[in-house]
Chains A and B, each alone.
Chain A
Amino acid sequence: MINSHFATMTNGRAVKLDVIPTLAFDDFKKAILDGTAAGQRVSAMFGDPTSQSEVTQLYVVMADDEQNQLYIGRTHIEGDQFPSLTPQCPQVHLFEREIAEQFGLKPIGHPWLKPVRYHRSKTGRDAWNRPSDQAVLPAVCDFFQVEGDEVHEVAVGPVHAGIIEPGHFRFQCHGERVFHLEIALGFQHRGVEDAMIGGPTKRSIHYAETLAGDTTIAHATAYCQIVEALAHCQKTARAQMLRGVSLELERLANHVGDLGAVANDVGFLPTASYCGRIRGDFLNLTALLCGSRFGRGMIRPGGVGFDIDDSRASELLRRLDKAEKDTANSVNLLWDTPSVMARLENTGPLPKHIAVELGIVGPAARASGLVRDLRQDQPSGIFRFSHIPVGTCDTGDVFGRVFIRWVEIQRSIKFIREQIGAIPAGSPLVKVGSLAPDSLVATLNEGWRGEVCHIAITNEQGSFARYKVVDPSFHNWAGLAYALRGQEISDFPLCNKSFNLSYCGHDL
């Protein structure tokens, strides 16, 4: 179904701002609800301040995976409130909370209106009427509470026993059983979106690379595609191939690391320690390309920062073969050990219809049976020419989320081998000109966690007036909270690891 109210748009193509229709709020709402009813997803919904302080512009970018199309629309909000869409369209719940926090606009009827990252708004308005002389501190707020004599509350974090990022988790439990889990993040908020405004500057690419350290390549790619689209810059096939290879190497390293971490959480040593080592082997492959294990400096506007030569290509293939063999040996132990399978199966299930409602992306969505992969649905770069089959699993439990990673590992290795086997000629980096003024561009890439979405709006000088980042974790944290309902509290670490979401990617 074509979304008749919104303008169509392609992933990574700039559109002029005046092409984007400004709808009345009711039409805007109807278009979103019709779209989601027809299977479209809300990739991003965000506010943009206008010259009048009383008026805020609300943009929405919807992805139609079947039609391989993006839709964009906007509306004006006057005053300090608007009717919430969340009751009819749960997947925008966090976007609305974000808008409330950033612009002080109250979504009336939102069932659980709380701050997202605990900071002051851009406009001076406050959706919660908090006194302005009081500091806004993360996770200092009321939590959902279950009442009853035998119900107890467990609070975990933000300081954890392991070396992980800070986040606060509140469990409402009955004995070992979890009734409800509420997650409060925001401890890592750095203000990246605001720092991007006025760019691109020399710093912008580094901001993009450090949005979420383990997703460096995907975020840097999304940023570079923004710049290139606005500058109408044509990359070479060689650069696109190298970007694709780095993206898949990032996926490999993280997926292998996750499999090891899951094994560690169930106390299964062999896979845990071998995968920890093999993850390092994949990281070293990225280092072979660009000198940084996390791919810093690899992706640059106009192409890639480092070229590949024959000797390094053959070295990469040699090491890839070895790592593939090691991974298979270590990971297959999981499926062959009954005590491991007993832990993974039927733990933390996320049913398909819930995954659709919450707008889950990435491996977590595919594990719940959704055929959702941007490399197929909204392809960009090398993925327009070379396809990676999408794997799905219909169990939706920890096993599904773990197994899907193993499937993707095998396919990514195959993809890299094909690409490195036939490297196109060309220059790795081309010059990027100045950016088109008064335009908007959205770029979507399938990072290892799922949809990495960047959106930029330029002003009349051609610099960023608004920059929006949506990390896959932003969609998926709610999925984790849901997956834990009715589960045992001791299975939380395992469920958490099977999603392995980013805190800093969410907190920006």
Chain B
Amino acid sequence: MTDTIIHIFLLLTLPPLLLGVINKTKALFAGRKGPPVLQLYYDIIKLMRKGMVLSRTTTWVFIAGPVVTLAAVVLAGMLIPIGQFDAPIAFAGDLIFFAYLFGLARFFTTAAALDTGSSFEGMGAAREVTFACLSEPALFFALLVLAKISGSLKLTTMLHSSTSAFSVAMAAPLVLVSIGLFIVLLTETCRIPVDDPNTHLELTMIHEVMVLDHSGPLFGIILYSAAMKLFVLGTVLLHIITPFQMNRMWLNWPLFIVEILGLAIVIGVVESVMARLRMRHIPYLLVSALLFCGFSFILLMRYYK
């Protein structure tokens, strides 16, 4: 019970910190002081207290977009185990539910974008779904690999398997999967090299352009759920790349926090040392993620034959 409460607490409060750490890392590379680590918390609180502007051309879909997205991401966060602890909600086949919660969130975000009738937002929505077509299969292949290794269709069992059921033969497929998942993570959370979260150029944006017309609390919700998405996908990735555990069970909580902050630093470094890809080249990167995960699955099939 305590663990469930801690799980929910971390899921709800930690995500904005990750963005703060990423931005601090980027600022360090750029030779700047950067915004405070807690800046996103301040921003969200500020936005929640503001009024919002709703265009007359929009409908309920415009408001439903951010709300459904947040609900879907929170639910997805309840399906994944954190560190060595089990997920609050777990059932056989929940991996499909997990993947399509993101699908649902994406559907409502793009629908809300199209609802405004703006050409920018339409462009952003088109880009978002195009790239999702490629990142979604990569995610599925990655989950399939884990399902194969654990012999289970339950996320909790699957994600713990890289720790509990580790064997040397699994090393190669897991390395490939973690590369593929990292690319999926960068895509889904709109980081460089796929998208530039800091740009103000409406013609080049993907995710940011879809939410241009949202303001006040709705925009706060969008920022919050984007951070949470990063947290959820990051947690999935951590299960594979850091299968460590502490002797005392409760120590696994601080260990997890250190790990996820470390991942944020890695993302910050990646964003600092490379430029954003040309829009036309993004599918190549996503296809490579798909190949990494797919090839990993093929390797595993040979091994488990």
Taking a contact as CB atoms under 8 Å apart, the answer to whether A274 and B193 are in contact is no
B201 adjacent to A339 (CB under 8 Å) = no
Within 8 A of A (CB), among B233-288: 271-281
Determine if B274 and A268 form an interchain contact, defined as CB atoms under 8 angstroms apart.
yes
Give B24-38 as 1s and 0s: 1 = Cβ < 8 Å from A's Cβ atoms: 001001111000000
> Which single member of B26, B31, B280 contacts A488 (CB below 8 Å)?
B280
Q: Does B11 contact A (CB under 8 A)?
A: no
Q: Judging by beta carbons under 8 Å apart, are B272 and A339 in contact?
A: no
A155 and B119 in contact (CB under 8 A), knowing A267-B275, A339-B274?
Answer: yes
Known contacts A265-B201, A270-B272, A493-B203; A277 and B123 CB within 8 A of each other: no
- Near B by CB (< 8 A), chain A positions 310-357 give 337, 339-340, 342-343, 347
Tell me which of B120, B271, B272, B281 contacts A342 (CB under 8 A): B281
Is B203 a contact of A154 with CB atoms below 8 Å? yes
- Chain B residues with CB under 8 Å of A270's CB are 29-31, 272-273
Residues in B with CB closer than 8 Å to A273 are 30-32
Task: Please tell me if A176 contacts chain B, counting CB pairs below 8 Å.
Answer: yes
Complex-state Cα separation, A153 to B119, whole angstroms: 8
Q: How far is the CB of A182 from chain B (nearest CB, A)?
A: 15
A156 interfacial by beta-carbon distance below 8 Å? yes
Chain A, interface size category, equals 20 to 34
A153-B119, A269-B30 known; A493+B204 contact, CB < 8 A: yes
CB-contact partner of A277 in B26, B31, B196, B203, under 8 A: B31
Contact yes or no, B29 A269, CB < 8 A = yes
Cα-based distance from A493 to B201 in the complex (angstroms): 7
Assess the A269–B271 pair: CB atoms within 8 A. Answer: yes
Cβ proximity bits A474-496 to B, threshold 8 Å, 1 near / 0 not = 00000000000000111111000
For A342, the chain B residues whose CB sits under 8 A away are 275, 277-278, 281
Chain B residues, CB < 8 A from A343: 275-278
The 8 Å CB contact of B275, one of A161, A162, A340, is: A340
A287 within 8 A of B: no
Q: Does B3 contact A (CB under 8 A)?
A: no
B123 touches A489 (CB 8 A): yes
* B199: Cβ under 8 A from any A Cβ: yes
Complex: A232 Cα to B29 Cα, angstroms = 55
Known A154-B119, A162-B200, A162-B201; judge A272-B30 contact (CB<8 A).
yes
Residue of A nearest to B34 (CB): A273
A-B contact pairs, 16 of them (CB 8 A): A156-B203, A176-B279, A265-B201, A265-B204, A269-B30, A270-B30, A272-B30, A273-B31, A337-B274, A340-B274, A342-B275, A342-B277, A343-B275, A343-B277, A343-B278, A490-B278
- Chain A contacts to B: CB under 8 angstroms: 152-156, 161-162, 175-176, 263, 265-270, 272-274, 277, 337, 339-340, 342-343, 347, 488-493
**Hey, which bits of chain B sit against chain A, CB under 8 A?**
26, 29-32, 119-120, 122-123, 126, 192-193, 196, 198-204, 212, 271-281
